C-alpha cells in the first residue's frame, strides 16, 4: 500500500496495520527481546547524520530491527521503506531511548528512512525469498478468526465514526458552540479506537488528527484538533466550515479504505501496542486534547481498541503462551479499573483537574500493560 513519506510526524506513535506481511513488535520501554525465533538482528543507530543499518544486507525471513537514538536531536524515528510503502517503524525515540520492530521480509531492495537527518535514506537489501512459517492447525484457525474478526470490528467502528463526526461538524457549520463541544469527544472516541489503521494510509491521519505542533504551515492545519482549538481556545467558529467539510471528506475516505483492508495476526498485536504508545505519549501527558481536556475519553478509546485486538488474538495466544495471555489480560483489567474514578456521567472529568500524582499512577498502569503486550506479536507470528 503506498504510504506518503513526505510529512515527518513529531513524536506521535503510529501503527502500520494494513501492509501485507508486516510483523512489528516492541515499544521503547520494553525490557524483553520479543523478536521472533530465528530472526536476524539489524542495528540502527539514530544520529543527526543518518541511520545506517548494520548489517546492510540480510537473508529473507524474520528480521528484528533494534533502533537506538545515540545522539540525535533532530531525528526521533526510523522507518523501513519498500518504495513509498512504510513496512515498519519505531518512533518517539529521544536521545538514549531504544526500541525494536520485527518483520518477515521477502527478498528485494529496501531503504531505512530517518526523517530530518542529514542523510535521510540508506539502502537495505534482503536476499532470497521467505517461506511461509509452519503453524499448528488449531492456532492457525484461531488466528484466521482473529484477523477476520478485526476487519469486521474496524469496519463497524468507522461506520459509527462517520455519523458521529457529521453530528459534530454539522454543529460547527451551524455555529452552535455548545452542541459542537458536546459531540467532540464521542466522535473522536470511534477514531481513537482504530487510529493505527488510519495511520497506515499516508497523510490521512495527519489530516484528521494532527495537533498544532505536528504541522509546519498553520494555514494547512485541518481535522479534529483544529476545530477543538476554535471551540475551546479561540471561542469562535468563524471560518471553520471548510475545515468541517474536509474532516467529513477525510472520514468518508477512511471508510472507503478500511472496507477492503485485510490484516495479519501480528499486525493486530502491533496495533494494540501502538495504541498503548499513544496513551503514554500523548493522552497521559495531556498533550492530545490540550484545549478541551477530554484526554481520558481518548485514553479509554485507545485501550478499548487495543483490548479488542488482544481479545481476538487471545484464543491463539492461549495455545502458544498461556502465561503471557493471562498477564496481558490481567493488566488490561488493571488499566481500565484505574480509569473508573474519573468517570463523570457518560464521559470523564476535565483532565486538567487530574493532578500529577494521579497521572503517574495511570502511567504506571499503562507501562505495566505495554511491556507484556509488546511480546504478543512474536508469539502469533508462527
pLDDT of 109 strictly over 90: yes
8-state DSSP, 320: H
**Cα 378 to the chain's mean position, in Å?**
18
Q: Which of 260, 261, 223 is nearest to 242 (CA)?
A: 223
Cα dihedral 211, 116, 17, 85 in deg (nearest 10): 130
8-state DSSP, 341: G
pLDDT of 32 strictly over 60: no
**What is the pLDDT averaged over residues 20-35?**
42
Mean pLDDT of the chain: 87
Greater confidence (163 vs 284) lies with 163
- 232 vs 179: CA distance, rounded Å: 13
pLDDT of 85 strictly over 70: no
pLDDT of 5 strictly over 50: no
Axis-axis angle for helices 295-320, 177-193 (nearest 10)? 20
8-state DSSP, 350: -
What's the pLDDT at 20? 34
What's the pLDDT at 381? 65
Confidence of residue 34 (pLDDT cuts 50, 70, 90): low
Confidence of residue 107 (pLDDT cuts 50, 70, 90): very high
The answer to whether 119 touches 133, Cβ cutoff 8 Å, is no
Confidence of residue 133 (pLDDT cuts 50, 70, 90): low
Q: Which of 2, 27, 31, 20 is nearest to 272 (CA)?
A: 27
pLDDT of 62 strictly over 90: no
- 375 vs 62: CA distance, rounded Å: 15
pLDDT of 22 strictly over 80: no
pLDDT of 265 strictly over 70: yes
Which H or E run contains 308? helix 295-320
- 44 vs 72: CA distance, rounded Å: 12
pLDDT of 29 strictly over 50: no
Confidence of residue 103 (pLDDT cuts 50, 70, 90): confident
Greater confidence (180 vs 36) lies with 180
Confidence of residue 325 (pLDDT cuts 50, 70, 90): very high
Which H or E run contains 183? helix 177-193
Residues forming a β-bridge with 381: none
Q: Which of 74, 73, 55 is nearest to 65 (CA)?
A: 55
Confidence of residue 99 (pLDDT cuts 50, 70, 90): confident
The answer to whether 234 touches 225, Cβ cutoff 8 Å, is no
What's the pLDDT at 274? 84
Sign of CA dihedral 182, 185, 186, 188: positive
pLDDT of 35 strictly over 90: no
What's the pLDDT at 11? 36
Domain annotation for the chain: domains and CATH numbers: 1-133 (2.60.40.420), 138-379 (1.20.1420.20)
**What is the pLDDT averaged over residues 56-68?**
90
Q: Where are the alpha helices (DSSP H) in 217-294?
A: 224-229, 241-258, 265-278
Residues forming a β-bridge with 68: 45, 98
- Window from 113-122, 216-225, 272-281 with minimum mean pLDDT: 272-281
The answer to whether 84 touches 107, Cβ cutoff 8 Å, is no
pLDDT digits (tens, 9 = 90+) for 191-247: 999 998 888 787 899 999 999 988 888 889 999 999 999 999 999 999 999 999 999
Amino acid at each position: 500500500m503506498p504510504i506518503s513519506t513526505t510529512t515527518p510526524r513529531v513524536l506521535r506513535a503510529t501503527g502500520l496495520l494494513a501492509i501485507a506481511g508486516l510483523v512489528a513488535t516492541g515499544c521503547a520501554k520494553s525490557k524483553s527481546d520479543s523478536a521472533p525465533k530465528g530472526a536476524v538482528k539489524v542495528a540502527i543507530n539514530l544520529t543527526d547524520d543518518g541511520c545506517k543499518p548494520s548489517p546492510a544486507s540480510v537473508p529473507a525471513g524474520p528480521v528484528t530491527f533494534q533502533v537506538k537514538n545515540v545522539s540525535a536531536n533532530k531525528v526521533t524515528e526510523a522507518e523501513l521503506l519498500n518504495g513509498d510503502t512504510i513496512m515498519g517503524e519505531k518512533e518517539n525515540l529521544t536521545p538514549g531511548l531504544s526500541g525494536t520492530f520485527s518483520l518477515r521480509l521477502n527478498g528485494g531492495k529496501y531503504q531505512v528512512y530517518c526523517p530530518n537527518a542529514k542523510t535521510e535514506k540508506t539502502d537495505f537489501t534482503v536476499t532470497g525469498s521467505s517461506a511461509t512459517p509452519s503453524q499448528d492447525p488449531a492456532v492457525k484457525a484461531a488466528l484466521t478468526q482473529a484477523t477476520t474478526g478485526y476487519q469486521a470490528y474496524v469496519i463497524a467502528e468507522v461506520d459509527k465514526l462517520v455519523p458521529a463526526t457529521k453530528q459534530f461538524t454539522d454543529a460547527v457549520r451551524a455555529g452552535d458552540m455548545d452542541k459542537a463541544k458536546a459531540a467532540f469527544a464521542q466522535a473522536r472516541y470511534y477514531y481513537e479506537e482504530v487510529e493505527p489503521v488510519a495511520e497506515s494510509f499516508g497523510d490521512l491521519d495527519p489530516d484528521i488528527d494532527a495537533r498544532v505542533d505536528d504541522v509546519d504551515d498553520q494555514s494547512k492545519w485541518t481535522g479534529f484538533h483544529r476545530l477543538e482549538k476554535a471551540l475551546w481556545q479561540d471561542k469562535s467558529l468563524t471560518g471553520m466550515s471548510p475545515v468541517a467539510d474536509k474532516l467529513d471528506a477525510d472520514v468518508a475516505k477512511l471508510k472507503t479504505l478500511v472496507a477492503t483492508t485485510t490484516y495479519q495476526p501480528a499486525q493486530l498485536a502491533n496495533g494494540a501496542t501502538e495504541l498503548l504508545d499513544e496513551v503514554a505519549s500523548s493522552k497521559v501527558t495531556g498533550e492530545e486534547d490540550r484545549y478541551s481536556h477530554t484526554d481520558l475519553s481518548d485514553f479509554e478509546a485507545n485501550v478499548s481498541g487495543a483490548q479488542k485486538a488482544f481479545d481476538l488474538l487471545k484464543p491463539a495466544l492461549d495455545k502458544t503462551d498461556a502465561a503471557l495471555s493471562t498477564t496481558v489480560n490481567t493488566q488490561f483489567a488493571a488499566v481500565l479499573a484505574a480509569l473508573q474514578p474519573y468517570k463523570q456521567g457518560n464521559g470523564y472529568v476535565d483532565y486538567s483537574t487530574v493532578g500529577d500524582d494521579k497521572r503517574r499512577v495511570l502511567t504506571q498502569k499503562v507501562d505495566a500493560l505495554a511491556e507484556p503486550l509488546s511480546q504478543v506479536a512474536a508469539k502469533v507470528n508462527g
